[in-house]
């Protein structure tokens, strides 16, 4: 793919409708497939990752009709999955692989999973270990102390566990809760800090027997019933790129329509407000996931400290928060960022290398088995040749940096953006003055 040119923007003005939430789209499709009846999913995210989940469910015998023009997916199911005819392809979607593993572990047939090279490198032991404790028979590729795709899942009877999750992960929690739908007894997951709770909300919507109190979620073996219609809010992680861009580019005022504002996902908003960002929620609606329009105006940002406990609520937004920090006055400190090493790429590395070219002073320090980032902000960003490292969030963050830079930038490859946000560049073009 040809590199793109990014010119500094003189202002961003207008209204944007960001596409449906990626995490919720995966879960809506999976639960619709596991419940009896017809489910209509509105505002489904037609991105590469969510299409992986749809294709896997189709390979497991689920009837799916997808209308991309209407962002609508219709799923008809008898609640049962069927043996696939071939290997299940997880593409680059870590969420599909990890979350579906909880479902596949409970099926009365063998499944084999493989994936694209970037996902073959991502750790899977975090999901496999608790599922094995439940009785799952999973044989994966081992390297060092971790396990990886490709892997095979053999039939087994699952029983409930009480699992304490030291590093909060919504994918791990979801896999265990999905396995808990089939397990004998009451499965409970306790997290040190609550990670995104879409699975819990959606399991309730599909009538699972689930309780969530504080950091502890418990589920009993359940038969799911479809609610009929599921409406998905705009993805706050996608909205974050427009929010940061509108804050950084002078003369900007942008409204983002119908964005999900689930309290476990809006860490990015709290941090940006703390940095002095002018951000307002308008027209709040309390659906099964709360949503609102988000109004953002250009602001002078100041540095902040982001603590380790805040990370689960903003883990995917760290790259774009780093861009905000690069132009904020003072030293921003972000603690507990180790997980960024095992995302689609090593995001500490991808962002640091780009920052070097933009002239941003960034330091990475090892602290108590974790890592801390220090970013000295406030100087104008150089005109530079930037790299996505084939990672959607690095690419979109660098696009935002380019809009706010002092000169023209080039970005090598934006194809990876389709993983979560097809239409990203077009949506931005409509705002640039």
271 to 310: interface string for ligand S3P, x by CB under 6 A: ----------------------------------------
Nearest CA among 73, 52, 113 for reference residue 229: 73
Give the shortest CB-173-to-ligand S3P separation in angstroms. Answer: 8
Q: With respect to ligand S3P, which residue has the nearer C-beta, 170 or 177?
A: 170
Least distance in angstroms from the C-beta of 95 to ligand S3P: 4
Tokens of 194: 């609550």
Output the smallest distance, CB 122 to ligand S3P, in A. Answer: 9
Map the footprint of ligand S3P across residues 247-276, applying CB under 6 A. Answer: none
What is the sign, positive or negative, of the torsion defined by CA atoms of 75, 420, 178, 146? positive
Q: What three-state secondary structure class fits 162?
A: strand
- Between 142 and 171, how does the x/- string for binding to ligand S3P read (CB under 6 A)? ---------------------------xxx
Whichever of 93 and 111 has its CB closer to ligand S3P, that residue is 93
Q: Which is nearer to ligand S3P, 200 or 295 (CB)?
A: 200
Q: How far is CA 33 from CA 104, 209, 338, 342, 383, in A?
A: 13, 18, 34, 29, 48
Q: How far apart are CA 277 and CA 296, in angstroms?
A: 8
Per the listing, tokens 């809006």 go with 266
Asked if 316 touches ligand S3P (CB under 6 A), the answer is yes
Q: Which residue has the tokens 């504080």?
A: 214
Candidates 316, 346, 391, 413; catalytic one: 316
SS3 252: coil
Residue 316 a catalytic site member: yes
The answer to whether 30 contacts ligand S3P (rule: CB under 6 A) is no
49 vs 295, beta carbon nearer ligand S3P: 49
Among candidates 82, 100, 93, which has minimal Cα distance to 29?
100
In the complex, least distance from residue 23 CB atom to ligand S3P, rounded to whole angstroms = 3
Name the 3-class secondary structure at 111.
Answer: strand
Q: According to CB under 6 A, which residues from 91 to 120 bind ligand S3P? A: 95
Q: At what angle do helices 392-404 and 318-326 cross, to 10 degrees?
A: 20
In contact, 101 and 128? CB cutoff 8 Å: yes
User: DSSP 3-state assignment of 299?
Assistant: coil
| Residue 132 in tokens | 């094995």
> Is residue 23 a contact point for ligand S3P (CB under 6 A)?
yes
Q: Using the minimum distance from each CB to ligand S3P, give the nearer residue, 193 or 380.
A: 193
Q: Binding of ligand S3P at residue 194 (CB under 6 A)?
A: no
Q: 3-state class of 388 per DSSP?
A: coil
State yes or no: residue 25 binds ligand S3P (CB under 6 A): no
CB 294 within 8 A of CB 243: yes
> Which of 315, 340, 362, 400: binder of ligand S3P (CB under 6 A)?
315
Least gap, CB of 309 to ligand S3P (angstroms): 14
Cis status, amide bond into 152, omega within 30 of 0: no
Sequence-distant (≥ 6) Cβ neighbours of residue 110 within 8 angstroms? 83, 152, 153, 154, 155
- Per rule CB under 6 A, count of chain residues that contact ligand S3P: 10
The interface mask with ligand S3P, positions 67-96, x = CB under 6 A, is ----------------------------x-
Residues that bind ligand S3P (CB under 6 A): 23, 95, 169-171, 174, 195-196, 315-316
Residues with a known catalytic role: 316
């Amino acid at each position: 793919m040809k590199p793109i040119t990014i010119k500094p923007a003189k202002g961003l003005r207008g209204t944007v409708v960001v596409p449906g939430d990626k995490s919720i789209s995966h879960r809506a499709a999976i639960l619709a497939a596991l419940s009896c009846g017809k489910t209509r999913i509105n505002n489904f995210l037609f991105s590469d990752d969510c299409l992986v989940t749809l294709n896997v469910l189709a390979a497991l015998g689920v009837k799916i009709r997808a209308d991309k023009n209407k962002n609508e997916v219709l799923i008809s199911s008898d609640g049962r999955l069927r043996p696939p005819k071939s290997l299940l392809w997880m593409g680059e979607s870590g969420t599909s692989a990890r979350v579906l593993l909880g479902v596949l572990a409970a099926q009365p047939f063998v499944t084999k999973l493989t994936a694209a090279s970037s996902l073959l490198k991502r750790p899977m032991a975090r999901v496999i270990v608790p599922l094995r404790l439940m009785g799952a028979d999973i044989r994966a590729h081992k390297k060092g102390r971790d396990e990886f795709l490709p892997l095979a899942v053999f039939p087994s009877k699952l029983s409930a566990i009480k699992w304490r999750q030291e590093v909060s992960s919504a994918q791990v929690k979801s896999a265990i809760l999905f396995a808990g739908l089939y397990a004998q007894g009451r499965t409970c997951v306790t997290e040190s800090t609550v990670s995104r709770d879409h699975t819990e909300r959606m399991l309730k919507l599909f009538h699972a027997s689930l309780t969530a109190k504080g950091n502890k979620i418990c589920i009993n073996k359940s038969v799911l019933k479809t609610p009929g219609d599921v409406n998905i809010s705009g993805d706050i992680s996608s909205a974050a790129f427009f929010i940061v861009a509108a804050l950084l580019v002078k003369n900007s005022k942008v409204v983002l329509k119908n964005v999900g504002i689930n309290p476990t996902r809006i860490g990015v908003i709290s941090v940006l407000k703390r940095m002095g960002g002018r951000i307002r929620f308008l027209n709040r609606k309390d659906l099964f996931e709360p949503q609102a329009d988000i109004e953002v105006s250009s602001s002078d940002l100041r540095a902040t400290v982001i603590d380790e406990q805040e990370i689960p609520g903003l883990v995917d937004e760290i790259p774009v928060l780093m861009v905000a920090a690069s132009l904020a006055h003072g030293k921003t400190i972000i603690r507990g960022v180790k997980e960024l090493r095992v995302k689609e790429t090593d995001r500490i590395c991808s962002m640091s290398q780009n920052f070097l070219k933009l002239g941003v002073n960034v330091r990475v320090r090892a602290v108590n088995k974790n890592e801390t980032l220090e970013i000295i902000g406030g100087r104008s960003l150089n005109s530079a040749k930037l790299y996505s490292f084939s990672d959607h969030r690095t690419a979109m963050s660098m696009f935002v940096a380019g809009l706010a830079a002092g000169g023209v930038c080039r970005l090598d490859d934006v194809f990876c953006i389709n993983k979560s946000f097809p239409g990203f560049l077009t949506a931005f073009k409509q705002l640039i003055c």
